[in-house]
Amino acid sequence: MSKNASTAAKRIAKKFGAKIATGRGPAIVTAKQVVAITTGRNTQTAMRQLKGYRRRVYIAATDSNATKAALAATRGTTIGVIDHQCKVAKPSTRKTSNGTKTRRPSTRKSTSKARRSFSSPRASRRSAIKRRSR
């Protein structure tokens, strides 16, 4: 995270009474909202980080140019924008799930149907042999 991004993250975390998350993903995650920090050129990455959350989601911009880029990128979406002064430039319209904490959904595709039909290679071979012998 750049110096501008960490400054913005600290300011927003103080406002929301939250801690800054380390590692990949959104910088601030609370029970009711999620905030990803953008410097302007990585607005699409910030939008990808917010995908799947069932709370209010925001992109926080580090300067006025980043705010303009974020507003243009989020037009027609449920993602809100917070400017570098911690003011909401565009509110998030994403529906919350009764204010309860929700887990981010897994991006892995479920293969349970395939597992049920072919539990093991040996079982599928047995069924093929049975079909041939009939």
How far apart CA 59 and CA 129 sit, in angstroms, is 58
pLDDT at 102 over 50: no
pTM > 0.75: yes or no: no
CB proximity list for 20: less than 8 A, separation 6 or greater: 6, 9, 10, 13, 27, 28
Q: What pLDDT, on a 0 to 100 scale, did the predictor assign at position 80?
A: 94
How far apart CA 78 and CA 111 sit, in angstroms, is 30
pLDDT band at 126 (very low <50, low <70, confident <90, very high): low
- CA dihedral (80, 42, 75, 103) positive or negative: negative
Comparing CA positions, the residue from 100, 24, 98, 69 lying closest to residue 59 is 69
CB proximity list for 70: less than 8 A, separation 6 or greater: 38, 40, 43, 46, 59, 61, 81, 89
- Give the helix ranges, DSSP H, for 50-119: 64-73, 112-117
46 or 95, higher pLDDT: 46
pLDDT digits (tens, 9 = 90+) for 40-84: 788 888 888 888 888 899 999 988 899 999 999 999 999 999 998
Contact indicator for 85, 67 with CB cutoff of 8 Å:
no
For residue 72, give the 3-state DSSP assignment: helix
CB proximity list for 95: less than 8 A, separation 6 or greater: 54
> Mean pLDDT over all residues of the chain?
78
